[in-house]
Structure 1
């Protein structure tokens, strides 16, 4: 793999930069050279989902121009990868080969043991776009099962939505809150110390609820777990 570009996503770049750094560290450890094109912005999902098709089209074409020429574009977001692959072509934009992180590791690099070490009890939430739009299936779980020291606990009713859904959480706050309560109950039933997922948006939503409950469960992106080693262990990000 000669030229790999990181698409950080606007949410990760703004609020969770540790996830982007972890993605780069992981990919470089596996022998990939990683670029971060400075022209990248939003994938346009927010605009498209709220009816601003023209704005989304402009962002889709900017994405195409920014990432043109790379062998692969890797993003730590199933949601944004799904937008690029499924919606951008409908907006008339060419689509560079774009992968959610676990897809790239398993399908392209053909690796499940990435040399990670993470001695914590963990449960995994499969986000809606990664599960339903991308069909990543067991790939994140295969990666997690290979992490040394990690105690992986199955999440009850894992396939149920957490209730975030971008603007859905704003427009349908009561329904979103009820869905979040169900998801938090499932997380707490596992007794996990850490909740992981492939989208910071879902981790933000669920983690915010758990924080308000003072539940003691920490949301950690999949990339940060996979980047953690005995020599360079994961540490909570400070803001």
Structure 2
């Protein structure tokens, strides 16, 4: 397995032409982020916490959109939005209908965006999010539309020392290695390679306790090489 990790890292180094800028943000339509057009983050979190609410998916997607921006990342964490999202994440993904898939993808996108923030990552790690996301990824009947968001979140988590140590000890690593050998999707293969690089790249060990973070931003925004901010699809 160690040989596979090293091989993956060498392949990625040879093919990776450029890095994602540290300050990159997704293109979000400006007219969707005016204060008068957005619910209060607290209200969105309360909607997510309401069992059976018909507005849960929309609220989760909205949190995902807002979580692209640092000030909203902080608010979502402060109001308990991270735990609310984790609590919604389904563990048994067999026979998921389209609504369940949409909700799961929206949750994964929001958590992915939130994971680049230091304090929010600490909340996720304390909630054992690595175990939960790995368990979702390993569902045998899960299609790629849900597995890829899982993989992107695992990739971001792997940039943090605590999460990388956890992931390396989980069975999902063996599943990912097998998927890399059998994948027919370039996007899927590239993400698995990036995950292995994030887990093993010694460059990211320069800051004690946190991998791939700018020392000037400790406790703030994660600036790992491959962090990804995503917008939920409406």
TM superposition score normalised by structure 2: 0.28
* Structure that is richer in strand per residue: 1
- Greater RCO, 1 or 2 (C-alpha within 8 Å, sep 6+): 2
* Structure that is richer in helix per residue: 2
